[in-house]
């Protein structure tokens, strides 16, 4: 039996490296047969997670509002190092007809969906705006993207996952829940957590695990001054995308 020796730190690092390599190989074997949808895939955390899934061989459906940005992500995912299928679908996740078009395209092209990652998100109005100072347009924009969008996608893809008795859903949450001065965004993420827990209870009997990923404060278009690189979310995202059957569901995981 191999044991880590605290006297020689290099052995600890070696064991950690070996475990990471073995886990990467397990992820690759698991994901090479999977079809994954990533919303908000044109930038930030969505792009990073899409690249990571591509690196492990998953078939990808990239979803977002900006077609040019989606194609840039697709180019990163198929840069010669990865032999993967990538489908780009321009979509506003808060619009039912758009999400239905995504579902139909997935059903026609692949006939299945194994993984859904809800990364699409907006932040309005500017930080420091109190709830009573927020306008209706900001409320609608944030709730439609951050809450209605994940629900619409879950609603569209769940029947496929139930039919195959397998699914892994990852909802990007935030530490800014119940946070004064971030009112509308805060409410949307708090409600998304409730959606995650409710869906987890309803779907676990179908081997569909629904969990939340809290990335911490990472640099994105919404947080250009954040200290952390978005690539820090990759290990946890891959773990949640490949959770074995029977693992916890309805949990908020922190990077």
* List 13, 166, 185, 253, catalytic entry: 185
Residue pair 157/106 in contact by the 8 Å Cβ criterion: yes
* DSSP E strand stretches across the chain: 35-39, 59-64, 86-90, 115-118, 167-172, 208-214, 252-254
- By C-alpha distance, which of 220, 233, 231, 236 is closest to 185? 220
In Å, how far are 71, 174, 205 from 183, measured between CA atoms?
33, 13, 35
185 is catalytic: yes
Max CA distance (Å), the chain: 63
Residue 230 CA, chain-centre distance (Å), reads 12
Alpha-helix residue ranges (DSSP H) falling in 32-174: 44-55, 67-77, 96-109, 136-143, 149-164
The closest of 47, 163, 173, 57 to 106, measured between CA atoms, is 163
Please name the residue that has the structure tokens 């475990």.
19
Residues marked as catalytic: 185
């Amino acid at each position: 039996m191999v044991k880590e020796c605290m006297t020689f730190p290099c052995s600890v690092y070696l064991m950690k490296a070996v475990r990471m390599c073995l886990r990467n190989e397990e992820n690759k074997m698991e994901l090479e047969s999977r079809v994954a949808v990533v919303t908000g895939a044109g930038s930030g955390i969505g792009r990073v997670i899409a690249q990571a899934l591509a690196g492990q061989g998953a078939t990808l459906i990239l979803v977002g509002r900006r077609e040019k940005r989606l194609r840039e992500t697709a180019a990163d995912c198929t840069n010669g190092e990865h032999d993967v299928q990538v489908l780009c679908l321009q979509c506003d996740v808060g619009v039912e007809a758009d999400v239905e078009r995504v579902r139909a395209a997935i059903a026609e092209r692949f006939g299945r969906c194994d993984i859904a990652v809800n990364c699409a998100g907006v932040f309005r109005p500017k930080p420091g705006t109190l709830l009573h100072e927020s306008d209706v347009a900001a409320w609608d924009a944030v709730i439609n993207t951050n809450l209605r969008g994940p629900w619409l996608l879950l609603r569209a893809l769940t029947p496929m996952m139930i039919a195959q008795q397998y699914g892994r859903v990852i909802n990007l949450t935030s530490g800014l829940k119940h946070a004064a001065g971030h009112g509308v965004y805060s409410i949307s993420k708090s409600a998304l957590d409730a959606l995650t827990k409710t869906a987890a209870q309803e779907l676990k009997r179908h081997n569909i695990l629904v969990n939340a990923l809290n990335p911490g404060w990472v640099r994105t278009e919404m947080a250009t001054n954040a200290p952390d690189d978005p690539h820090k979310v990759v290990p946890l995202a891959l773990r949640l995308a490949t959770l074995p059957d029977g693992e916890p569901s309805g949990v908020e995981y922190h990077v």
